[in-house]
């Protein structure tokens, strides 16, 4: 098969291996979900809420149903179990009455061609009662603020709180001779994988529902599709075709259940393809985090204490937020030994786009805070940032804030020494 190109170069271990799927990709043969088709396929388009928080008072679907080429117009009433989610099933397949973020899907239109489906989707009328939105997680976590998911998460918008405690914080402050206290904030990010979501769903010759999709989590998709449609697991098959980038953004359900629902209802193969704009509305984002950090050290440049409060904006649905804020809490001290620690990490629901997995999974955001604190402390102490770090980094035998004793593979010191010469000017700052 290799034709003009060689295979492995060098030995089995440490050799260079050609990536097998790269062949189909350089030749333009690799099939992404938008590239697969079935005879007789129809197209489905979701009507999404333009409002971040609203009650739905009513739907007018007659015009859409009468439109040229329309095969079916589906609403929440057509979904047997209207919920999905990796940790909590708090996200509706199609919103029944409570819109919690801009982009929430409300109505699904299926038609013979994509153009007809888009035209008919434009004829759907949704009567929204726009509600005041919660866009600030620190507001949303206050007592007495309306809860966004009372039936699943109770009377609070805090879906997760993890305290991490080590040593004795009061003792740490008593020992501290220098203190740096600051607030940090990171922004929301989109993965912007290059291939917008697309799905092909159909009922095969055995009566099984087949869903071809670019996903990071095929077995989860299968369970959620089966659950939402009231099917058995073995009636649903999820086939992962080529995945055009993901970076965490394909760990939740996007179009899978909607396409499956349309196929199951109409018994026609159903294609859904997001535009780039729809893609922004239909997958998670990176958690923006607000981080309040207070760090103490001795004049000799030894860290004695850290107190931190991290608030992650979960957006409208929990997705992976608990796991992500857990990771933020665990990594809050960075690669430094601090004997006395108190960290409180929270994930808070708001009406912002929902946030979930993205490269680093909550470990990336606290870096801004703990490394900035080190630089500011170094300045206070008149030490180079490099020197302060060398006096506090984790080494073999160090204990992390969660009590893990590091028994090996701690490369921090070697790494710092290796980059030192490149950092000449920075270290002297």
Partner 1 sequence: MKIELTVNGVARILEVEPEERLLDVLRERLHLTGTKEGCGEGECGACTVIMDGKTVNSCMVLAAQADGHAVTTIEGLGNRGSLHPVQKAFLEEGAVQCGFCTPGMVLSAKALLDRSPHPGKEQIAVAMSGNLCRCTGYDKILRAVERAAGEVKE
Nearer to ligand FES, 196 or 315 (CB): 196
Stretch 251-290: interaction string toward ligand FES, x if CB under 6 A:
----------------------------------------
Q: What's the half-sphere exposure (Cβ side, CA atoms, 13 Å) at 48? A: 22
**Beta-bridge partners for 290:** 185, 311
- Which residue lies nearest ligand FES, judged by its C-beta? 194
Q: 192 contacts which partner out of ligand FES, partner 1, none, CB within 5 to 8 A by kind?
A: partner 1
8 A C-beta contact, residue 383 and residue 371 = no
Nearer to partner 1, 245 or 411 (CB): 245
**Binding to ligand FES by residue 194, rule CB under 6 A?**
yes
CB of 189 to ligand FES, least distance (A): 17
Q: Would you call 333 helix, strand, or coil by DSSP?
A: coil
* Rounded Cα distance, 350 and 313, in Å: 7
* Rounded Cα distance, 17 and 19, in Å: 6
CB of 20 to ligand FES, least distance (A): 15
8 A C-beta contact, residue 278 and residue 255 = no
Nearer to partner 1, 32 or 264 (CB): 32
Nearer to partner 1, 194 or 405 (CB): 194
Q: 280 contacts which partner out of partner 1, ligand FES, none, CB within 5 to 8 A by kind?
A: none
Task: Tell me how many residues contact ligand FES (CB under 6 A).
Answer: 2
- Which of 40, 146, 245, 397 binds ligand FES (CB under 6 A)? It is 245
Q: Which among 52, 49, 47 has a CA at the least distance from the CA of 101?
A: 52
| Cα dihedral 142/145/148/149 (nearest 10) | 80
Nearer to partner 1, 50 or 244 (CB): 244
Q: 19 contacts which partner out of partner 1, ligand FES, none, CB within 5 to 8 A by kind?
A: partner 1
* Rounded Cα distance, 317 and 134, in Å: 13
Secondary element (H or E) of residue 209? strand 209-213
Nearer to partner 1, 21 or 205 (CB): 21
CB of 245 to ligand FES, least distance (A): 5
Q: Which among 124, 109, 49, 105 has a CA at the least distance from the CA of 73?
A: 109
CB of 194 to ligand FES, least distance (A): 4
CB of 24 to partner 1, least distance (A): 8
CB of 272 to ligand FES, least distance (A): 18
Q: Would you call 370 helix, strand, or coil by DSSP?
A: helix
Nearer to partner 1, 243 or 368 (CB): 243
* Rounded Cα distance, 317 and 399, in Å: 35
CB of 9 to partner 1, least distance (A): 9
* Rounded Cα distance, 232 and 228, in Å: 10
Q: Which residues bind ligand FES (CB under 6 A)?
A: 194, 245
């Amino acid at each position: 098969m290799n034709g003009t190109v060689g295979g492995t170069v060098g030995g089995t271990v440490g050799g260079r291996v050609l990536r097998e799927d790269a062949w189909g990709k350089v030749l333009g043969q690799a099939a992404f979900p938008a590239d697969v088709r079935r005879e007789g396929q129809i197209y489905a388009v979701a009507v999404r809420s333009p409002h971040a928080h609203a009650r739905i008072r009513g739907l007018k679907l007659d015009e859409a149903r009468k439109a040229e080429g329309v095969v079916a117009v589906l609403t929440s009433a057509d979904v047997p179990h209207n919920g999905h989610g990796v940790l909590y099933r708090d996200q509706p397949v199609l919103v029944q009455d409570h819109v919690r973020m801009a982009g929430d899907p409300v109505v699904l239109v299926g038609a013979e061609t994509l153009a007809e489906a888009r035209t008919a989707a434009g004829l759907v009328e949704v009567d929204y009662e726009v509600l005041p939105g919660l866009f600030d997680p620190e507001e949303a976590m206050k007592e007495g603020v309306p809860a966004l998911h009372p039936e699943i998460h109770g009377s609070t918008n805090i879906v997760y709180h993890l305290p991490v405690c080590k040593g004795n914080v009061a003792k740490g402050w008593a020992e501290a001779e220098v203190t740096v206290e600051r607030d940090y904030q990171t922004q929301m990010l989109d993965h912007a994988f290059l291939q917008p979501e697309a799905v092909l769903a159909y009922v095969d010759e055995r009566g099984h529902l087949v869903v071809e999709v670019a996903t990071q989590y095929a077995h989860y998709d299968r369970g959620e599709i089966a659950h939402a449609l009231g099917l058995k697991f073995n009636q649903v098959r999820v086939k992962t075709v080529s995945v055009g980038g993901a970076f965490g953004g394909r760990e939740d359900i996007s179009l899978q259940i909607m396409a499956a629902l349309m196929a199951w209802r109409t018994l026609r193969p159903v294609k859904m393809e997001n535009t780039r704009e729809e893609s922004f509305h239909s997958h998670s984002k990176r958690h923006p985090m607000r981080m309040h950090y207070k760090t103490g050290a001795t004049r000799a440049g030894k860290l004695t204490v850290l107190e931190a409060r991290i608030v992650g904006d979960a957006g409208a649905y929990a997705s992976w937020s608990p796991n992500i804020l857990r990771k933020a809490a665990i990594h809050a001290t960075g690669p430094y030994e601090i004997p006395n620690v108190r960290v409180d990490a929270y994930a808070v629901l708001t009406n912002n786009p929902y946030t979930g997995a993205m490269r680093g999974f909550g470990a990336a955001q606290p870096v801004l805070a703990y490394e900035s604190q080190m630089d500011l402390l170094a300045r206070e102490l008149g030490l180079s940032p490099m020197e302060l770090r060398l006096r506090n980094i984790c080494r073999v035998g160090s204990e992390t804030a969660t009590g893990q004793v590091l028994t090996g593979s701690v490369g921090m010191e070697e790494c710092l020494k290796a980059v030192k010469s490149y950092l000449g000017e920075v270290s002297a700052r």
